[in-house]
Amino acid sequence: FLEPAVEPPAGAAPSAALEAVRSAAALPAALRLAIARGHLSLAFQPIRRCGDGSLVSVEALLRWEDPDRGPVPPDTFIPVAEETGLIIQIGAWVLRRACETAVRAGGEWRIAVNISPVQFQQPDLAGMVANILRETGLPPGRLALELTEQIPLLRFPRAREAVRRLQAMGVQVALDDFGSGFSNIACLREFRFDLVKLDRSILALPPAQRGTVLTALLAVSQSFGLKVVVEGVETTEDWGMLQALGADYAQGYLLGRPAADLALAVPDAFPGQPLAPCSSPAGAFP
Ligand code: C2E
Ligand code: MG
Ligand code: MG
Ligand code: MG
């Protein structure tokens, strides 16, 4: 039966657990304020070709810097944005800002933008994307959208039609975080993705399993005709293994950390500017 609630003595400091609950309950209101006050921003991280390390695309990652809380991680606030529906408005802003940034930098690389499954609840996601492409002047061939299966995509009947329309426009569509959560073979079959991104939890497996699991997932993805990005490449050993196993593309701290300034995060994103030699002790670029 229910334990009697233990009341803290009057005047006692609230427990850490209670504080955490209060802080979580305050997140929706704090997120609304963050939007109104312009506390959301983007960080940029390169995705590179396994052969020569050349730039393929740049992922835009949402950041929330709260004056009281400090940085709030996306894994904390994206679910809040999804539950409140704020992700519709935030997602449109991210897309517009990302496209503007890619147009300003120029070049041939794609800008990769994460799309929440909840965004498919809006009546015309493909039309919204088309409008933003037209207004910012980004060619559709320079946009990639990354879809995660946090909420199984197949439950959203509009998703398949929207993905088909986006691809018909020339937008690339990637399945993100494959190998974690709900990712399944049915999803690869039902959606004709262009690209699959293997979750970074795979490179974090113990060495005995890492190579085997990676080989299997590469084979599955490539059997569907999909190019593969491996996420979470942090060491030269990881990078060497991907080359040996035939992965197409890679993303991770070794190849470039996310940063707000595109020119710092991805020095080779600007055409005509040679890649600055990177000789940091961490060996940021192999
Ligand atoms: P994601 O789309 O899988 O993005 C990659 C995540 O891995 C990013 O985390 C990135 O900072 C991190 N990462 C990259 N390389 C490495 C590495 O070598 N090691 C490690 N440990 N981590 C690495 P971040 O920025 O915290 O974003 C987390 C997730 O939040 C994203 O995962 C994505 O699902 C979601 N997210 C971020 N921005 C947006 C957005 O604008 N819209 C939506 N709907 N979701 C977003
Ligand atoms: Mg992503
Ligand atoms: Mg991912
Ligand atoms: Mg991920």
Residue 253 in contact with ligand 1 by CB distance below 6 A: yes
Which has more confidence, 4 or 97?
A: 97
Alpha-carbon distance of 118 to 275, in angstroms, equals: 38
Split at pLDDT 50, 70, 90, the class of 9 is low
Global pTM value: 0.90
> Which ligand 1 atom is nearest residue 177's CA?
3
Whole-number pLDDT of residue 286: 38
Angle of CA points 140, 145, 146, to nearest 5°:
165
Phi-psi region of 11 (alpha: psi -120 to 50; beta: other; left: phi over 0): left
Whole-number pLDDT of residue 285: 36
Residue 230 in contact with ligand 1 by CB distance below 6 A: no
Q: Please tell me the residue having the least CA distance from ligand 1 atom 4.
A: 61
How far does the centroid of ligand 4 lie from the alpha carbon of residue 178, in Å? 9
pLDDT at 96 over 80: yes
Closest CA to 70 of 30, 14, 19, 97: 30
| Interface confidence (ipTM) of the complex | 0.99
Split at pLDDT 50, 70, 90, the class of 191 is confident
How far does the centroid of ligand 3 lie from the alpha carbon of residue 59, in Å? 10
Contact criterion met (CB below 8 Å) for 248 and 217: no
Contact criterion met (CB below 8 Å) for 152 and 182: yes
Which has more confidence, 216 or 283?
A: 216
Residue 252 in contact with ligand 1 by CB distance below 6 A: yes
Give the amino acid at 249. Y
Residue 119 in contact with ligand 1 by CB distance below 6 A: no
CA distances from 88 to 40, 96, 199 (A): 14, 13, 25
Element (H, E) at 163: helix 157-169
Whole-number pLDDT of residue 277: 45
Contact criterion met (CB below 8 Å) for 159 and 117: yes
- 85-89, 135-139, 187-191: least confidently modelled range: 187-191
- 49-63, 91-105, 170-184: least confidently modelled range: 170-184
Q: Please tell me the residue having the least CA distance from ligand 1 atom 22.
A: 232
Over range 213-235, report the average pLDDT. Answer: 95
pLDDT at 38 over 60: yes
pLDDT at 269 over 90: yes
Give the amino acid at 25. A
The two tokens of residue 77 are 């606030």
pLDDT at 3 over 60: no
pLDDT at 116 over 70: yes
Which has more confidence, 3 or 40?
A: 40
- 116-130, 185-199, 268-282: least confidently modelled range: 268-282
Whole-number pLDDT of residue 121: 86
- 38-47, 186-195, 229-238: least confidently modelled range: 186-195
Alpha-carbon distance of 91 to 251, in angstroms, equals: 22
Alpha-carbon distance of 212 to 209, in angstroms, equals: 5
Phi, psi of 14 (to 5 degrees): -65, 145
pLDDT at 37 over 50: yes
Which tens digit of pLDDT belongs to each residue from 239-260?
Answer: 999 999 999 999 999 999 999 9
Over range 73-88, report the average pLDDT. Answer: 96
* Residues ≥6 apart with Cβ < 8 Å to 104: none
pLDDT at 152 over 50: yes
Alpha-carbon distance of 286 to 227, in angstroms, equals: 22
Hey, CA dihedral for 117, 119, 120, 126, is it positive or negative? negative
Over range 102-131, report the average pLDDT. Answer: 95
At what angle are helices 27-37 and 74-84 packed, to 10 degrees? 90
Contact criterion met (CB below 8 Å) for 262 and 100: no
